[in-house]
Amino acid sequence: MTIRVSFSGVQKTCLALVAAAGSFIAGVLMPVDPPSEPASVRLTNILKPAVKLDLEFPSVKAIADQRVEQWWDSITQGQDEGKKKQVFSSPASFQGKIVQQAELAGQEKVIALTFDDGPWIDTTEKVLNILKQYQVKATFFWIGKHLKLYPHIAKKVVVQGHAIGNHTWNHPYSLNPSEATKEIEDTATLIYQVTDVKTSLFRPPGGVLNNGLAAYAQQQKYTVMMWSADSRDWNTGTSTSTMIDNVLRNTRSGGIVLLHDGGGNRWQTVEALPVIIAEFKNRGYKFVTVPELLQMEENERKIRAK
C-alpha cells in the first residue's frame, strides 16, 4: 500500500525550516572527534588569528608612522637638518679687539668654557652630552678642515645652543700673511654653509698674535678671543687632575677657560669636564657663552657711563 502525502507551498517551507533546524541541532549534539594534534600545535593554532588580525590592520601602523613624522616635524621645525640661522657678534666696543677675559664688577660670578679644534669624532659628542647633563652653554672654535670632515657633528653643536667661533682652516702657527685671508674666510664660508651661523669671534691657533691671522681678523672686525685659564689639555702629558687644577686655580669671574674637544685624543678633557663644571657650580659660578660674556661687560660699561 502506498500512502501518498501531498504538501502545500507553505507547508513545504515549514518543513524545510524544521529540517534545517534539525540538522543544526544534530550537528551540535554530535560527539566531537578527539583532538589528533598535540596541545602545543593546537595552542599555536589558537594564537594564529591574533597575528593575522595584526596584519589585517596595516592602517594602525600607518597612523603611528604619521604621528612619529608629525612629532619629528614639530621639534625640528625651522632647523633645516641642524641649521639654525644666527649671528654670534661682538658688541661694538669689542670689534677688532683682543680679549683675554671680561672685566666684570657685578656680584654675579660667571665663567665661559671654550672648546677648540673640533668638530671631532666621538669626543665632541661626549662633551655635548656632559654640557647638556649640567645645562651648560659653551663656545666652540672650529677648524675648517675638521668641519668639512664632520659637518653632522657641527650641526649637533649648533642645535644644542652653543656659540661658535672661527679657528682657521688648517690651524697654522706660521704662514705667509697673504694666506691669512684664505684661512679665515674659507672657514667662515663653510661654517655658514653647514650651519647657517655667522660669527665675529676668532681664536688664533696657539694664541699666536704676530703671524698675520690676528691682524687680518682685527681688520675684519672680529674679536680675537684669547683665554684667562689654560687647562693645557692640548699637551697629552697633562694629567686629568692637573688639567682640573690649571682651570680652577687661574679663574675668576669673567674668565675664559681654554679646553679642546678635537685635534687629537681628548679623553682626558672628557674625564676632567664634569669635575670642572661641578666645582665651578659649587663655587657659585654661572656658565655663559663668549658672546654673552662680552655683552655683560658691555652692559656694565653702559650703566657706568650713565
Residues that bind Zn ion (CB under 5 A): 116-117, 205
Question: Residue 251 gets which letter from DSSP?
Answer: -
Terminus-to-terminus CA distance in the chain, angstroms?
135
**What is the closest distance, in whole angstroms, from the C-beta atom of residue 117 to Zn ion in the complex?**
4
Q: What is the rounded distance in angstroms from the CA atom of residue 7 to the CA atom of residue 261? A: 101
How many Å apart are CA 297 and CA 288, to the nearest integer?
Answer: 12
Residues 6+ apart with CB under 8 A from 106: 253, 296, 300
Residue 283 C-beta: closest distance to Zn ion, Å? 27
CB of 204 to Zn ion, least distance (A): 9
Residue closer to Zn ion by CB (options 261, 297) is 261
| CB of 300 vs Zn ion, minimal distance in Å | 30
Residue 117 vs 125, nearer CB to Zn ion: 117
**Catalytic residue of the set 116, 117, 230, 261:** 116
Residue nearest to Zn ion (CB): 116
**223 near 94, Cβ under 8 Å?**
yes
Q: Which of 46, 201, 25 is nearest to 115 (CA)?
A: 201
CB 246 within 8 A of CB 255: no
CA 14 – CA 21 distance, rounded (Å): 11
Q: Which is nearer to Zn ion, 172 or 205 (CB)?
A: 205
Tell me whether residue 117 or residue 297 sits nearer to Zn ion (CB atom): 117
Shortest Cβ distance from residue 206 to Zn ion (Å)? 7
Considering the complex, what minimum distance in angstroms separates the CB of residue 172 from Zn ion? 10
Closer Cβ to Zn ion, 110 or 127, answer by number: 127
Annotated catalytic residue, options 146, 162, 167, 260: 260
Instruction: Reply yes or no on whether 260 is catalytic.
Output: yes
Written in H, E and C, the secondary structure of 124-136 is HHHHHHHHHHCCC
C-alpha grid cell, residue 260? 679642546
Helices of type H across 206-289: 213-219, 240-249, 267-282
For residues 232 and 243, the answer to whether their CB atoms sit within 8 Å is yes
117 is catalytic: no
| Dihedral-angle region of residue 168 (phi above 0 means left; psi in -120 to 50 means alpha; beta otherwise) | left
Q: Which CB sits closer to Zn ion, 166 or 200?
A: 166
**Residues labelled as active-site residues:** 116, 260
